[in-house]
Amino acid sequence: MSTTNRSLVDRTWSKVTESQVWRSIFRHGYPDTPLNQSLVMMGNVFLHLHPVKVSRKAMKITYTWCLGGLSFFLFLVLTITGVFLMFYFVPDQTIAYANIQQIQSAVAFGNLVRNMHRWAAHLMVVTVTLHMIRVFYHGAYKPPREFNWVIGVALFLTTLLLSFTGYLLPWDQIGYWAITVGSNMASYAPIFGTAAHNFLTGQPVGVGQPTLIRFYTLHVIGLPLAAAILMAVHFWRIRKDGGEAGPPPPSRREIEQARARQAAEREPVASLS
């Protein structure tokens, strides 16, 4: 590029970056100092979701297996496929079973979407459990992340409840009897047993229409809303706690051993003669 062209590009570039429009969107210069890096992260709607600094090792996929990310992805898949199913499913005990059969046989892509919803639900229970184990194994429940661990426990329970409430909706034998057993188990709880049973089933004996509508409302509105709010707090907390907890720094002994190894490698090989 000739000198004249370059200076033209430079002048245009500085005109753009110094314009009021540009400066109203990008309020800070190039993030080349720690202060500017923080300001850029805080002042941008997309970047502010991330912490200013993250440990390089904690970013490795082999450290988290992205299990939290996978759980979130599955939650999105479940929400989208769930909305699709809501267009056809009617929570009425006389037609719910037939509804599901129709979704699978008569609705375009119905079988695919229903199976995606079912598989994603099973997988989410697996990924959330593995994510919890990973967090525990890495000691990421310790301060300052103890509050996020508590939010995580609430998310775990919400995931299990979503799975439990969804199980009844097809109104098939396995779902019907599973919820019958589950709600009967609740009635054995001390003091609140009967109240817990009636809260679940909506009637004093057995599982019926009041149970179905109750489980449906919780499954499509109450629990997903609770999960979404908890996830927002969970992600916000991850950012405030400085991103994922990285592996612990090497101990003094490990550092000394590494130094000794390096020194030994540098030493000349003794002559054999």
Site string for ligand HEM, 188-227 (x = CB under 6 A): ----------------------------------------
Which residue, 103 or 162, has its beta carbon nearer to ligand HEM?
A: 162
Closest to ligand HEM by CB, 87 or 137: 137
Nearer to ligand HEM, 128 or 168 (CB): 128
Q: Please report the sign of the dihedral spanned by the C-alpha atoms of residue 184, residue 189, residue 191, residue 197.
A: negative
Residue 203 in contact with residue 179, Cβ under 8 Å? no
- Locate tokens 């909506």: which residue? 202
Q: Which of 156, 172, 203, 239 binds ligand HEM (CB under 6 A)?
A: 156
- Under rule CB under 6 A, residue 162 binds ligand HEM: no
Residue 151 vs 168, nearer CB to ligand HEM: 151
Angle (CA) 107 118 85, round 5°: 35
Q: Which is nearer to ligand HEM, 210 or 247 (CB)?
A: 247
**Contact residue for ligand HEM among 78, 99, 114, 145 (CB under 6 A):** 145
Indicate whether 71 belongs to the interface with ligand HEM (CB under 6 A). yes
Residue 221 DSSP one-character state: I
Contact 87, 80 (CB under 8 A): no
Structure tokens at 65: 């297996």
Among positions 88, 119, 149, 164, the unique one binding ligand HEM when judged by CB under 6 A: 149
Scored b (16 or more CB within 10 A) or e, 121-137 reads bebbbebbeebbeebee
HSE of 108 in the Cβ direction (CA atoms, 13 Å)?
0
Determine the interface stretch with ligand HEM among 15-23, 154-162, 165-173, 186-194 (rule: CB under 6 A): 154-162
Q: Decide if residue 155 touches ligand HEM (CB under 6 A).
A: yes
Q: How far is the CB of 255 from ligand HEM (least distance, A)?
A: 24
In 3-state terms, the chain is what percent helix, strand and coil (to 5)?
70, 0, 30
Site for ligand HEM in 81-140 (CB under 6 A): 128, 131-132, 135, 138, 140
Using CB under 6 A as the binding criterion, the count of chain residues that bind ligand HEM stands at: 28
The rounded distance, in Å, linking the Cα atoms of 211 and 201 is 4
Nearer to ligand HEM, 120 or 135 (CB): 135
C-alpha of 89 from chain center: 27
d(CA 119, CA 123): 6
72 binds ligand HEM (CB under 6 A): yes
Per CB under 6 A, 147 contacts ligand HEM = no
Three-state DSSP at 9 gives helix
Residues that bind ligand HEM (CB under 6 A): 64, 66-69, 71-72, 75, 128, 131-132, 135, 138, 140-141, 145, 148-149, 152-153, 155-156, 159, 231, 234, 238, 244-245
